[in-house]
């Protein structure tokens, strides 16, 4: 799940990623699936971490949630680069 805003998402994202910005996540949190893992991504790990902790607080029954803590660059063709955070 890509938690960047729609403009950033439109410029490139992981193939198959669903876009719900961190600003919209709380009002859509009930729609998150409980039957499969969820991985939150953004460009730096900041917004994805925020989304991860929000879900832990508001939907504690979801056990398979993760976030990418790295610097990620997405391209329009679906390619990407990731630099691990230190």
pTM listed for this prediction = 0.91
DSSP secondary structure letters along the chain:
-B-S-HHHHHT---TT--B--HHHHHHHGGGS-SSS-EEEB-SSSHHHHHHHHHHHHH-TT---EEE--EEEEE-TTS-EEEEE--
> Within 10 Å of residue 41's Cβ, how many Cβ atoms?
24
Q: How far apart are CA 84 and CA 24, in angstroms?
A: 27
pLDDT per position as a tens digit, 19-36: 999 999 999 999 999 999
**Residue that is written with structure tokens 């029954």 in the block:** 61
pLDDT per position as a tens digit, 2-21: 999 999 999 999 999 999 99
């Amino acid at each position: 799940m890509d938690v960047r805003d729609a403009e950033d998402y439109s410029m490139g994202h992981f193939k198959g990623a669903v876009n719900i910005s961190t600003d919209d996540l709380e009002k859509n949190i009930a729609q998150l699936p409980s039957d499969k893992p969820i991985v939150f991504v953004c460009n730096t790990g900041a917004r994805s971490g925020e989304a991860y902790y929000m879900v832990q607080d508001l939907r504690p029954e979801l056990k398979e949630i993760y976030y990418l803590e790295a610097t990620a660059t997405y391209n329009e063709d679906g390619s990407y680069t990731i630099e691990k955070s230190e």
